[in-house]
A and B are shown apart, each in its own frame.
Chain A
Amino acid sequence: MKVDTAGVGFSKTACYKWAGGILITIVLAGIPLVIEKPFATHVLIMILMYASLGQSWNIISGYAGQVSLGHAVFFGAGAYTSSVLLIKLGITPWAGMIGGILVSLIIAVVIGAICFKLKGHYFVIATLVIAEIVLIVVSNMQFLGGAAGIWIPVLPASILNLEFHASKVPYYYIFLLFTALTFALTWWLERSRTGYYFQAIKADPDAAQALAINIARYKMIALAISSALAAIQGTLYAQYVLIVDPYSVLVLKMSLMMALVTVLGGAGTLWGPLVGSAILIPISEYSRSWLSGGGKALDLMIYGALIIAFAVYQPNGIMGLWDRFRRGKKPAVNRCRSEELKVVNGHNTAGK
């Protein structure tokens, strides 16, 4: 994790970072105005959604090190809750989103209570198993539409209804907004004590405890934040495709996708999920549209091979590669430290 320990906001590196950020924002905001094909917009929306979902997984599994393979349950919880609230009670999806977050948090507490006692592989398998249970239960509940799922009623296009029919572009901006918020939250988390505690838990739970960290509590916090972020995407997704079915939102493949984009991009890094998503999602979407039938498997084949390759050669993902490239240029001894210390110790040295 690269933290700007130089601290001074107007150094050269900081200027580059700000400029880069503004540039990215302009590009992202302007893309849909330039690209007019609906399919391309769809791909962009999917990139954003999986970037957010990946980031949500990143918080519990990348930063806090609790590898979950059942994260789809939170996505599904958000999707189903807001949809059911809309259909049965006519509640706007925005309020439904809050409902989805609440349901997701409850599930997170239950899963945490069960699984956090488990270590290592036991934990991973438990998350898998719980996700499978949820899938089976939901696909057999008539109240939730069973295996076929629920159709969201087509309502007049408006922001309040979170439905747009003439074009996908408004969806793009909404997804963009929430992705930006998700990333901003993660950025803030990285720099907060909570974020450091997550990393300590990942690095060495015993050492973390010896450092006065209540690991049970912080694991739960990580899972809670994670689940809420995934639930939000669930609601947005439901309103985008207008159908919520268990074999799309609750399946293992969904859990895997959330994890894969992050693992490939770099787990435990801020930009990893976006990088991974920007690479994997276009492969997935375009291979599906070009090759019918076998297409669905081709993208997975590529993912599988990529994941193995990265696990063996570059476990820190693409961001890890980038990091190695950057670090190759830095001097071995950190000269700025003594300057910082002078400030810290109260000497005011003239000059830079």
Chain B
Amino acid sequence: MGIILQVNNITKKYGGLIAVNDLSFHMEEGEIVGLIGPNGAGKTTVFGCISGFSPPEAGSIKFFDHDITRLSPYRIAQIGIARTFQIVKPLRHMSVLDNISVGAMALNSNVNLAKKKALKLAQFGGLINKADMPAELLTLSDKKRLEILRCLAMNPKLLLLDETMAGLNPIERQEALYFIKSIKASMNVTILMIEHIMDIVMPISNRVVVLEYGTKIAEGSPNEISKDQTVIKAYLGESYHAAN
């Protein structure tokens, strides 16, 4: 499998604060990689760098063979990287169907074809009964589902999921997990998932990258990571580590 994403030594600063510090990792086609770390670790900032919303000051990002470091967000979406937002951003006054259709229109200027595709996706995502509902009236769980469907409508090669599970109750989380698995099963897509909660991301990731204060502190299989002392310390603090 080829390398789909290569993040090379990126650094992102906000004023004097270093949000991401000399970060490097890569992803292979077809993987699900989890990007985890405690709050404030810089995970969403990394997404901002990859998706073009907040380009890094130093380093480079390559998507297949393209250097995408300085590309604008819409260009990056055009070449096949789709992202969700941590604070969900539905196209509020537009219907669920229209939301997904706009995504489909990235590949096809024909509105009717885009809508047909959107209908199928809505059914796939379990939102078909709410197709005409204005997006702002959906529950949080549905809004997050919608945002993923919107991404899928663009036939992305790389899907960036930003804390899809945040704010969902345990039942909704299981549904979301199942949904992500079904995406992987039915489409050829590589997924980079940010998650704050270890229990969610471990079951489905092939690999995990752990950030703390903007720096990568560990990388490996879920099994390795769950036993890694540095990671445990980062999440649970010194006292836990000392106690064990």
A residues contacting B by CB (< 8 A) are 1, 3, 5, 7, 191-193, 196-197, 199-200, 203-204, 206-215, 268, 333-334, 337-338, 340-341, 344-345
Contact = CB atoms under 8 A, between A and B. Distances in A.
A340 B118 CA distance: 12
A115 B58 CA distance: 30
B85 A203 contact: no
16 contacts: A7-B112, A193-B110, A196-B102, A197-B105, A200-B91, A207-B85, A207-B91, A209-B72, A209-B74, A209-B77, A210-B89, A211-B77, A211-B103, A214-B74, A334-B131, A341-B123
B119 A192 contact: no
A215 B74 contact: yes
B235 interface: no
Nearest to B106: A212
A139 B119 CA distance: 55
A217 to B, nearest CB: 9
A208 B92 CA distance: 12
B154 interface: yes
A271 B94 CA distance: 18
Interface residues of B, number: 39
Interface in B153-180: 154
Contacts of B132: 5, 334
Interface string B87-107: 001111110011001110110
Nearest to A65: B93
A214 B76 CA distance: 11
Contacts of A7: 112
Given A200-B94, A268-B93, 14 more contacts: A193-B109, A196-B101, A199-B94, A199-B98, A203-B90, A203-B92, A206-B53, A207-B90, A210-B51, A210-B77, A210-B89, A211-B74, A334-B132, A344-B119
A207 B89 contact: yes
B98 A196 contact: yes
A66 B77 CA distance: 23
A196 B105 contact: yes
A72 B197 CA distance: 54
A210 B94 CA distance: 16
B30 interface: no
A343 to B, nearest CB: 9
Given A199-B94, A206-B89, A337 B119 contact: yes
Contacts of A214: 72, 74
A203 B96 CA distance: 13
Contact of B116 (A196, A199, A338, A344): A344
B51 A200 contact: no
Contacts of B131: 334, 337
Contact of B91 (A204, A215, A340, A345): A204
B73 A210 contact: yes
A226 to B, nearest CB: 20
B82 interface: yes
Contacts of B109: 193
User: Which of B51, B92, B105, B115 has the most chain A CB within a 10 Å cutoff?
Assistant: B105
Contacts of A268: 93
Contacts of B72: 209, 214
A5 B131 CA distance: 10
Interface in B132-149: 132
Contacts of A197: 102, 105
A176 B51 CA distance: 48
The 9 closest A-B pairs by CB, nearest first: A203-B91, A212-B106, A212-B77, A209-B73, A207-B89, A212-B78, A209-B74, A193-B105, A204-B89
A210 B82 contact: yes
Nearest to A199: B94
Interface in B53-67: 53
Interface in B15-62: 51, 53
B108 to A, nearest CB: 8
Nearest to B108: A193
Contacts of A3: 98
B102 A200 contact: yes
Nearest to A207: B89
B232 interface: no
A232 to B, nearest CB: 26
A344 B120 contact: yes
Given A210-B51, A334-B129, A340 B74 contact: no
